[in-house]
Amino acid sequence: MAVGGLLAGALVWGLIWYPFRVLDASGVTGLAATVYSYGIALLIGLLIYGPVWREWRLAGWGGAVLILAAGWANLGYVLAMLEGEVMRVLLLFYLAPLWTVLLARLLLGERLNRHGYGVIALSLSGALVMLWQPEAGWPLPQNAAEWMGLTAGMSFALTNVLVRRADQLSIEFKSACIWFGSAALTLIAMLALGQGGNLRLVTEWWWLLGLLGIVLCATSLIVQFGLSNLSATRAIVLLLFELVFAAVASWLLADEAMGLRETLGALLIASASLLSGRMHPND
């Protein structure tokens, strides 16, 4: 169930670009759609699960760090995609398995065996094959957008490790921190950038924003279950399946070609996911 939850999350994140693209074409910008969709997810979660904020005393500083990490992971990714070269931003963001290995060792004491390092190398190779453009050079940040993509990937890794570490907190509380952080930081950024006027809505798209909120709410809960029951390093390998789903979705929905590189990268990521159960000494 934990593996299935993470793969379901990867599927949603691999498809969710499409409704955001529809909204953007209709006048609801990516940042505004992020504020509304995560705000709706937070509202739905609180209506269903009640005053989960009562766990704040138990969470302590860890709750605040989770809010900031999750918020920047989503906000930094969106800003980087808006301002930078898409493929380079994606590549920098999906270096997340490297940061997960380091953070999981530091914060969780997770140790990889020789199979584990091989699986990490295999998953990163798949991402490199799918995303790297030789003419663009090595994936080293060259501008502000690329630094945002890199640090958003670091925050994504930190978020996953913190969720795994916080066993004393409910899945609902951890999900609420992620929803709140994503909506609040994006709203603050929009106001700071003078984009508050973009918060206006094309009213006929309320149904799509509501649907996105419901999907994000359900997905967060499912993914938190997976993260809470699997090692952080194994989880990040499974979440890389988002690239595979996104490649197939762009082929089917946007008529974008899925060539040899995309197919080979997808096979490498799928192979890493299948081998991910042997990543630790006790596996």
Give the residue extent of every domain in the chain. 2-278
- Write down the pLDDT at residue 71: 93
Task: Give the integer Cα–Cα distance in Å for 107 and 283.
Answer: 20
Beta carbons of 66 and 159 less than 8 angstroms apart: yes
Mean pLDDT of 219-228: 90
Q: Residue 93: pLDDT above 70?
A: yes
Cα angle value 139/140/144 (rounded, 5°): 115
Candidate from 110-119, 161-170, 208-217, 251-260 with smallest mean pLDDT: 251-260
Q: Residue 214: pLDDT above 70?
A: yes
| Distances in whole angstroms, Cα of residue 12 to Cα of each of 7, 70, 86, 100, 245 | 9, 17, 19, 21, 9
Mean pLDDT of 206-223: 92
Query: In this predicted model, which residue has the larger pLDDT, 67 or 57?
Result: 67
Q: What is the mean pLDDT of the chain?
A: 86
Type of residue found at 274 = L
Candidate from 60-64, 137-141, 196-200, 269-273 with smallest mean pLDDT: 137-141
Q: With 0.85 as the threshold, say if the pTM is over it.
A: yes
- Write down the pLDDT at residue 39: 94
| Distances in whole angstroms, Cα of residue 198 to Cα of each of 43, 94, 189, 247 | 21, 29, 12, 30
Q: 191, exposed or middle or buried, with CB in 10 Å at 0-12, 13-18, 19+?
A: exposed
